[in-house]
Amino acid sequence: MADAATLMISVGSYLPERIMTNQELTALVDTSDEWIRQRTGIAQRHIVAKGEKTSDLARHAAEQALDSAGLVAGDLDLIIIATSTPDDTFPSTATKVQHQLGAHQAVAFDVQAVCAGFVYALDVADAMLTAGRGKRAMVIGAESFSKILDWSDRSTCVLFGDGAGAVILERSDNATGYGVLASKLHADGAHRDILYVDGGPSSSGKVGHVRMEGNKVFRHAVDKLSSVMDEVLEAADMPVSDVDWLVPHQANIRIIEGMQKKMGLSDDRVVKTVHEHANTSAASIPLALSAAVGDGRVRDGHVLAFEAIGGGLVWGAALVRYGRPSG
Ligand code: ACO
Protein backbone atom coordinates (compact mmCIF):
# COMPACT_ATOMS: atom_id res chain seq x y z
CA MET A 1 0.00 0.00 0.00
CA ALA A 2 1.19 3.53 -0.80
CA ASP A 3 2.16 5.86 2.06
CA ALA A 4 -0.67 8.01 3.44
CA ALA A 5 -0.78 11.52 1.97
CA THR A 6 -2.33 14.64 3.52
CA LEU A 7 -4.20 16.44 0.75
CA MET A 8 -5.05 20.14 0.93
CA ILE A 9 -8.47 20.22 -0.70
CA SER A 10 -9.93 23.66 -0.03
CA VAL A 11 -9.36 27.10 1.44
CA GLY A 12 -11.50 29.90 2.86
CA SER A 13 -10.82 33.32 4.32
CA TYR A 14 -12.35 36.28 6.05
CA LEU A 15 -11.31 39.89 6.54
CA PRO A 16 -13.24 42.23 8.87
CA GLU A 17 -15.27 44.89 7.08
CA ARG A 18 -13.49 47.89 8.55
CA ILE A 19 -10.49 49.02 6.48
CA MET A 20 -7.90 51.33 8.02
CA THR A 21 -5.71 53.13 5.48
CA ASN A 22 -2.14 54.32 6.02
CA GLN A 23 -3.47 57.85 5.82
CA GLU A 24 -5.71 57.24 8.85
CA LEU A 25 -2.67 56.15 10.87
CA THR A 26 -1.07 59.56 10.37
CA ALA A 27 -3.69 60.90 12.79
CA LEU A 28 -2.43 58.52 15.51
CA VAL A 29 1.37 58.48 15.09
CA ASP A 30 4.13 60.40 13.33
CA THR A 31 4.21 58.43 10.08
CA SER A 32 3.25 58.75 6.41
CA ASP A 33 1.63 56.69 3.68
CA GLU A 34 4.87 56.98 1.70
CA TRP A 35 7.07 55.63 4.57
CA ILE A 36 4.76 52.67 5.22
CA ARG A 37 4.44 51.75 1.52
CA GLN A 38 8.17 52.08 0.81
CA ARG A 39 9.38 50.14 3.88
CA THR A 40 6.66 47.48 4.02
CA GLY A 41 4.48 47.45 0.89
CA ILE A 42 1.40 47.85 3.11
CA ALA A 43 -1.42 50.14 1.90
CA GLN A 44 -4.19 49.22 4.34
CA ARG A 45 -5.25 46.75 7.02
CA HIS A 46 -8.59 45.36 8.21
CA ILE A 47 -9.61 45.87 11.84
CA VAL A 48 -12.18 43.92 13.87
CA ALA A 49 -15.41 45.68 14.81
CA LYS A 50 -16.29 46.29 18.45
CA GLY A 51 -17.30 42.93 19.90
CA GLU A 52 -15.95 40.97 16.90
CA LYS A 53 -13.58 38.26 18.12
CA THR A 54 -10.87 36.02 16.70
CA SER A 55 -13.33 33.10 16.89
CA ASP A 56 -15.77 35.04 14.67
CA LEU A 57 -13.09 35.58 12.00
CA ALA A 58 -12.07 31.91 12.24
CA ARG A 59 -15.66 30.68 11.95
CA HIS A 60 -16.32 32.74 8.79
CA ALA A 61 -13.14 31.41 7.13
CA ALA A 62 -13.97 27.84 8.24
CA GLU A 63 -17.49 28.02 6.78
CA GLN A 64 -16.14 29.23 3.44
CA ALA A 65 -13.56 26.39 3.35
CA LEU A 66 -16.27 23.80 4.15
CA ASP A 67 -18.59 25.25 1.48
CA SER A 68 -15.97 25.20 -1.22
CA ALA A 69 -15.04 21.59 -0.38
CA GLY A 70 -18.71 20.55 -0.35
CA LEU A 71 -18.30 19.29 3.22
CA VAL A 72 -20.12 19.87 6.50
CA ALA A 73 -18.70 20.40 9.98
CA GLY A 74 -19.54 16.81 10.91
CA ASP A 75 -16.93 15.66 8.36
CA LEU A 76 -14.07 17.11 10.46
CA ASP A 77 -12.08 15.01 12.93
CA LEU A 78 -9.61 17.71 13.96
CA ILE A 79 -9.62 21.53 14.20
CA ILE A 80 -6.38 23.38 14.93
CA ILE A 81 -6.38 27.14 15.21
CA ALA A 82 -3.05 28.92 14.94
CA THR A 83 -3.40 32.14 16.89
CA SER A 84 -1.55 34.42 19.29
CA THR A 85 -4.66 36.50 19.87
CA PRO A 86 -7.17 33.98 21.29
CA ASP A 87 -10.57 35.14 22.55
CA ASP A 88 -9.66 34.07 26.11
CA THR A 89 -6.60 32.74 27.94
CA PHE A 90 -8.57 29.50 28.03
CA PRO A 91 -10.45 27.56 26.77
CA SER A 92 -8.88 27.48 23.33
CA THR A 93 -10.41 29.42 20.47
CA ALA A 94 -10.52 26.12 18.56
CA THR A 95 -12.99 24.58 21.03
CA LYS A 96 -15.22 27.65 20.66
CA VAL A 97 -15.19 27.38 16.87
CA GLN A 98 -15.71 23.60 17.06
CA HIS A 99 -18.88 24.22 19.08
CA GLN A 100 -20.11 27.07 16.86
CA LEU A 101 -19.61 25.02 13.69
CA GLY A 102 -21.22 21.95 15.24
CA ALA A 103 -18.15 19.78 14.59
CA HIS A 104 -18.99 17.72 17.69
CA GLN A 105 -16.66 14.79 17.10
CA ALA A 106 -13.61 16.90 16.18
CA VAL A 107 -10.62 17.16 18.51
CA ALA A 108 -9.84 20.89 18.86
CA PHE A 109 -6.89 22.87 20.17
CA ASP A 110 -4.83 26.00 19.49
CA VAL A 111 -1.21 26.24 18.38
CA GLN A 112 0.75 29.34 19.31
CA ALA A 113 3.68 30.06 17.02
CA VAL A 114 2.88 33.69 16.17
CA CYS A 115 3.54 34.42 12.47
CA ALA A 116 4.80 30.86 11.88
CA GLY A 117 1.56 29.50 13.38
CA PHE A 118 0.11 28.31 10.09
CA VAL A 119 3.15 26.26 9.06
CA TYR A 120 3.41 24.87 12.62
CA ALA A 121 -0.28 23.88 12.71
CA LEU A 122 -0.10 22.40 9.21
CA ASP A 123 2.81 20.18 10.28
CA VAL A 124 0.97 19.02 13.42
CA ALA A 125 -2.22 18.25 11.46
CA ASP A 126 -0.24 16.40 8.76
CA ALA A 127 1.51 14.29 11.42
CA MET A 128 -1.80 13.45 13.13
CA LEU A 129 -3.61 12.52 9.92
CA THR A 130 -0.80 10.39 8.53
CA ALA A 131 -0.59 8.65 11.93
CA GLY A 132 -4.22 7.66 11.48
CA ARG A 133 -5.75 10.12 13.98
CA GLY A 134 -8.70 10.92 11.74
CA LYS A 135 -9.60 11.48 8.10
CA ARG A 136 -10.08 15.26 7.84
CA ALA A 137 -8.61 18.27 9.59
CA MET A 138 -9.17 21.97 9.40
CA VAL A 139 -6.22 24.27 10.04
CA ILE A 140 -7.21 27.87 10.66
CA GLY A 141 -4.92 30.88 11.08
CA ALA A 142 -6.91 33.60 12.84
CA GLU A 143 -5.75 36.81 14.48
CA SER A 144 -7.02 40.04 15.99
CA PHE A 145 -3.58 41.63 16.21
CA SER A 146 -5.17 45.08 16.54
CA LYS A 147 -5.99 44.07 20.14
CA ILE A 148 -2.33 43.71 21.15
CA LEU A 149 -0.88 46.74 19.36
CA ASP A 150 0.35 49.83 21.12
CA TRP A 151 -1.39 52.41 18.92
CA SER A 152 1.11 55.06 20.04
CA ASP A 153 4.15 53.04 18.82
CA ARG A 154 4.74 53.85 15.15
CA SER A 155 7.38 51.14 14.80
CA THR A 156 4.76 48.39 15.27
CA CYS A 157 1.18 49.68 14.90
CA VAL A 158 1.53 50.37 11.17
CA LEU A 159 2.56 46.79 10.40
CA PHE A 160 -0.28 44.52 11.50
CA GLY A 161 -3.94 43.76 10.78
CA ASP A 162 -6.75 41.31 11.56
CA GLY A 163 -8.11 38.39 9.53
CA ALA A 164 -8.45 34.63 9.17
CA GLY A 165 -7.82 31.88 6.65
CA ALA A 166 -8.64 28.17 6.79
CA VAL A 167 -7.64 25.06 4.85
CA ILE A 168 -9.15 21.58 4.85
CA LEU A 169 -6.79 18.62 4.88
CA GLU A 170 -7.80 15.09 3.99
CA ARG A 171 -5.91 11.84 4.48
CA SER A 172 -5.63 9.71 1.36
CA ASP A 173 -4.01 6.31 0.92
CA ASN A 174 -3.73 6.47 -2.86
CA ALA A 175 -2.56 9.96 -3.77
CA THR A 176 1.23 9.77 -3.66
CA GLY A 177 2.82 12.97 -4.96
CA TYR A 178 -0.12 15.10 -3.78
CA GLY A 179 -0.69 16.99 -0.54
CA VAL A 180 2.04 17.80 1.98
CA LEU A 181 5.27 16.76 0.27
CA ALA A 182 7.68 18.04 2.93
CA SER A 183 7.58 20.22 6.01
CA LYS A 184 10.26 21.49 8.39
CA LEU A 185 10.03 23.61 11.55
CA HIS A 186 12.63 25.40 13.68
CA ALA A 187 12.74 27.38 16.93
CA ASP A 188 15.39 29.43 18.70
CA GLY A 189 14.22 31.00 21.95
CA ALA A 190 17.51 32.90 22.34
CA HIS A 191 15.98 35.63 20.16
CA ARG A 192 12.93 36.21 22.36
CA ASP A 193 13.74 39.85 23.06
CA ILE A 194 13.60 41.08 19.47
CA LEU A 195 9.89 40.25 19.07
CA TYR A 196 7.54 39.64 21.99
CA VAL A 197 4.42 40.81 23.83
CA ASP A 198 5.14 42.55 27.14
CA GLY A 199 2.42 40.79 29.09
CA GLY A 200 0.74 37.47 29.81
CA PRO A 201 -1.10 35.49 32.50
CA SER A 202 1.96 34.41 34.50
CA SER A 203 4.18 37.46 33.97
CA SER A 204 2.16 40.67 34.31
CA GLY A 205 -1.39 39.36 34.47
CA LYS A 206 -2.17 41.74 31.62
CA VAL A 207 -2.53 41.08 27.90
CA GLY A 208 0.37 43.37 26.89
CA HIS A 209 1.49 44.89 23.59
CA VAL A 210 3.72 43.84 20.71
CA ARG A 211 7.33 45.00 21.08
CA MET A 212 9.75 44.54 18.22
CA GLU A 213 13.21 45.48 17.06
CA GLY A 214 12.08 45.33 13.43
CA ASN A 215 15.50 45.72 11.82
CA LYS A 216 16.88 42.78 13.88
CA VAL A 217 13.91 40.58 12.93
CA PHE A 218 14.43 41.63 9.32
CA ARG A 219 18.07 40.49 9.40
CA HIS A 220 17.06 36.97 10.51
CA ALA A 221 14.15 36.66 8.11
CA VAL A 222 15.51 36.01 4.62
CA ASP A 223 18.49 33.90 5.85
CA LYS A 224 16.39 31.59 8.00
CA LEU A 225 13.53 31.37 5.49
CA SER A 226 15.79 30.55 2.56
CA SER A 227 17.68 27.90 4.50
CA VAL A 228 14.47 26.17 5.67
CA MET A 229 13.14 26.39 2.10
CA ASP A 230 16.29 24.59 0.90
CA GLU A 231 15.63 21.92 3.53
CA VAL A 232 12.08 21.17 2.33
CA LEU A 233 13.11 21.19 -1.33
CA GLU A 234 15.83 18.67 -0.50
CA ALA A 235 13.46 16.56 1.63
CA ALA A 236 10.97 16.44 -1.27
CA ASP A 237 13.82 15.88 -3.75
CA MET A 238 12.40 18.70 -5.83
CA PRO A 239 14.17 21.44 -7.81
CA VAL A 240 12.92 24.97 -7.19
CA SER A 241 11.82 25.07 -10.83
CA ASP A 242 9.02 22.61 -9.89
CA VAL A 243 7.48 25.14 -7.49
CA ASP A 244 4.48 26.77 -9.18
CA TRP A 245 3.79 29.35 -6.45
CA LEU A 246 5.61 30.76 -3.47
CA VAL A 247 2.84 31.58 -0.96
CA PRO A 248 4.86 33.31 1.76
CA HIS A 249 3.95 34.80 5.12
CA GLN A 250 2.85 38.35 4.30
CA ALA A 251 4.89 40.47 6.73
CA ASN A 252 6.80 42.86 4.55
CA ILE A 253 7.15 43.12 0.76
CA ARG A 254 10.93 43.47 1.13
CA ILE A 255 11.18 40.10 2.92
CA ILE A 256 8.89 38.49 0.32
CA GLU A 257 10.92 39.93 -2.57
CA GLY A 258 14.16 38.91 -0.82
CA MET A 259 12.89 35.31 -0.81
CA GLN A 260 11.67 35.63 -4.39
CA LYS A 261 15.16 36.70 -5.45
CA LYS A 262 16.91 33.91 -3.46
CA MET A 263 14.62 31.33 -5.09
CA GLY A 264 14.98 32.92 -8.54
CA LEU A 265 11.22 33.18 -9.07
CA SER A 266 9.53 35.54 -11.52
CA ASP A 267 6.70 37.82 -10.35
CA ASP A 268 4.05 35.53 -11.78
CA ARG A 269 5.04 32.76 -9.34
CA VAL A 270 4.77 34.68 -6.05
CA VAL A 271 1.50 35.47 -4.24
CA LYS A 272 1.63 38.93 -2.66
CA THR A 273 -1.31 40.25 -0.63
CA VAL A 274 0.48 42.20 2.12
CA HIS A 275 -0.61 45.53 0.57
CA GLU A 276 -4.28 44.64 1.19
CA HIS A 277 -4.24 43.33 4.75
CA ALA A 278 -0.78 44.02 6.30
CA ASN A 279 0.77 41.37 8.55
CA THR A 280 -2.05 39.18 9.89
CA SER A 281 0.43 36.82 11.58
CA ALA A 282 -0.83 33.18 11.47
CA ALA A 283 -3.66 34.15 9.09
CA SER A 284 -1.49 35.58 6.34
CA ILE A 285 -0.55 32.42 4.40
CA PRO A 286 -4.10 31.03 4.14
CA LEU A 287 -5.36 34.55 3.31
CA ALA A 288 -2.86 34.78 0.45
CA LEU A 289 -3.69 31.23 -0.68
CA SER A 290 -7.41 31.98 -0.62
CA ALA A 291 -6.90 35.03 -2.85
CA ALA A 292 -4.84 33.03 -5.35
CA VAL A 293 -7.22 30.05 -5.45
CA GLY A 294 -10.17 32.43 -5.68
CA ASP A 295 -8.86 34.24 -8.76
CA GLY A 296 -7.72 31.03 -10.46
CA ARG A 297 -3.95 31.50 -10.19
CA VAL A 298 -3.50 28.44 -7.95
CA ARG A 299 -5.10 25.32 -9.41
CA ASP A 300 -5.30 21.64 -8.46
CA GLY A 301 -1.94 19.99 -9.04
CA HIS A 302 0.13 23.14 -8.49
CA VAL A 303 3.12 22.87 -6.14
CA LEU A 304 2.99 25.53 -3.42
CA ALA A 305 5.87 26.63 -1.20
CA PHE A 306 4.85 28.10 2.15
CA GLU A 307 7.29 29.84 4.52
CA ALA A 308 7.00 31.95 7.67
CA ILE A 309 9.01 33.35 10.57
CA GLY A 310 7.68 34.82 13.79
CA GLY A 311 8.26 35.69 17.42
CA GLY A 312 10.27 33.11 19.36
CA LEU A 313 11.98 33.06 17.00
CA VAL A 314 10.12 30.26 15.24
CA TRP A 315 10.20 29.53 11.54
CA GLY A 316 9.31 26.87 9.03
CA ALA A 317 8.41 25.92 5.48
CA ALA A 318 6.23 23.37 3.69
CA LEU A 319 5.79 22.12 0.13
CA VAL A 320 2.27 21.11 -0.84
CA ARG A 321 0.82 19.85 -4.13
CA TYR A 322 -2.61 21.46 -3.92
CA GLY A 323 -5.95 19.74 -4.50
CA ARG A 324 -6.85 16.15 -5.39
CA PRO A 325 -5.36 14.06 -8.20
CA SER A 326 -7.78 14.01 -11.15
CA GLY A 327 -9.37 10.79 -12.34
N1 ACO B 1 6.83 55.90 10.18
C2 ACO B 1 7.88 56.73 9.96
N3 ACO B 1 9.12 56.45 10.44
C4 ACO B 1 9.26 55.31 11.16
C5 ACO B 1 8.20 54.43 11.41
C6 ACO B 1 6.93 54.77 10.88
N7 ACO B 1 5.85 53.98 11.05
N8 ACO B 1 8.66 53.39 12.15
C9 ACO B 1 9.97 53.60 12.34
N10 ACO B 1 10.34 54.77 11.77
C11 ACO B 1 11.65 55.39 11.72
C12 ACO B 1 12.54 54.94 12.83
O13 ACO B 1 12.29 55.68 14.01
C14 ACO B 1 13.91 55.23 12.25
O15 ACO B 1 14.17 56.61 12.39
P16 ACO B 1 15.65 57.13 12.71
O17 ACO B 1 16.48 56.71 11.53
O18 ACO B 1 15.44 58.59 12.84
O19 ACO B 1 16.04 56.44 13.98
C20 ACO B 1 13.74 54.95 10.75
O21 ACO B 1 12.32 54.97 10.52
C22 ACO B 1 14.30 53.61 10.30
O23 ACO B 1 13.86 52.61 11.22
P24 ACO B 1 14.21 51.10 11.01
O25 ACO B 1 13.53 50.29 12.07
O26 ACO B 1 15.68 50.93 10.88
O27 ACO B 1 13.53 50.86 9.59
P28 ACO B 1 13.55 49.59 8.67
O29 ACO B 1 13.98 49.94 7.31
O30 ACO B 1 14.22 48.41 9.33
O31 ACO B 1 12.01 49.24 8.54
C32 ACO B 1 10.45 47.71 9.49
C33 ACO B 1 11.26 48.95 9.70
C34 ACO B 1 9.43 47.95 8.41
C35 ACO B 1 9.74 47.32 10.79
C36 ACO B 1 11.37 46.54 9.04
O37 ACO B 1 12.47 46.46 9.89
C38 ACO B 1 10.68 45.21 9.05
O39 ACO B 1 9.74 44.97 8.31
N40 ACO B 1 11.15 44.25 9.86
C41 ACO B 1 10.56 42.93 9.94
C42 ACO B 1 9.41 43.01 10.83
C43 ACO B 1 8.55 41.81 10.69
O44 ACO B 1 8.43 41.21 9.66
N45 ACO B 1 7.90 41.49 11.78
C46 ACO B 1 6.98 40.47 11.81
C47 ACO B 1 7.62 39.21 12.15
S48 ACO B 1 6.47 38.04 12.48
C49 ACO B 1 5.67 38.08 13.97
O50 ACO B 1 5.84 37.14 14.68
C51 ACO B 1 4.79 39.13 14.41
- The answer to whether residue 326 is domain-embedded is no
Strand spans (E) along the chain: 5-14, 18-21, 44-47, 78-82, 107-111, 136-144, 162-172, 179-187, 195-197, 210-212, 245-248, 303-310, 314-321
**pLDDT tens digits for 4-47?**
899 999 999 999 999 999 999 999 999 999 999 999 999 999 99
Residue 250 lies in a domain: yes
Q: Do 140 and 287 lie in a common domain?
A: no
Q: Which tens digit of pLDDT belongs to each residue from 138-194?
A: 999 999 999 999 999 999 999 999 999 999 999 999 888 999 999 999 999 999 999
Indicate whether 150 and 232 sit together in one domain.
no
195-224: average pLDDT: 97
Closest Cα to atom 38 of ligand 1: 214
Cβ–ligand 1 distance for 284 under 6 Å, the answer: no
Residue 1 has pLDDT above 90, yes or no: no
Nearest ligand 1 atom, CA 31: 1
- Which pLDDT tens digit goes with each residue over 105-118? 999 999 999 999 99
- Residue 210 in any domain: the answer is yes
Q: What is the mean pLDDT of residues 227-247?
A: 98
52-62: average pLDDT:
98
| Candidate from 195, 217, 309 with most ligand 1 atoms within 8 A of CB, to mutate | 217
Task: Note whether 54 and 161 are same-domain residues.
Answer: yes
Query: Do residues 222 and 116 share a domain?
Result: no
pLDDT band at 2 (very low <50, low <70, confident <90, very high): low
Quote the mean pLDDT of the chain: 97
Same domain, residue pair 198 and 157: no
Report the nearest-CA residue for atom 1 of ligand 1: 31
Per-residue pLDDT tens over the stretch 98-107:
999 999 999 9
Reported confidence tier of residue 327, pLDDT bands at 50, 70, 90:
low
Considering the domain architecture, whether residues 16 and 40 belong to the same structural domain is answered as yes
CATH code at position 280: 3.40.47.10
Looking at the fold, whether 223 and 299 belong to one and the same domain comes out as yes
Domain with 311, as residue range(s), is 179-321
**Residue at which a domain ends, from 172, 207, 238:** 172
Atom 7 of ligand 1, nearest CA residue: 154
pLDDT higher than threshold 60 for residue 121: yes
CA distances from 257 to 57, 101, 212, 274 (A): 28, 38, 21, 12
- What is the pTM assigned to this prediction? 0.97
In-domain check, residue 59? yes
**275 and 313 assigned to the same domain:** yes
Q: Among the three residues 121, 140, 172, which one is the final residue of a domain in this structure?
A: 172
Active-site entry in 191, 209, 249, 277: 249
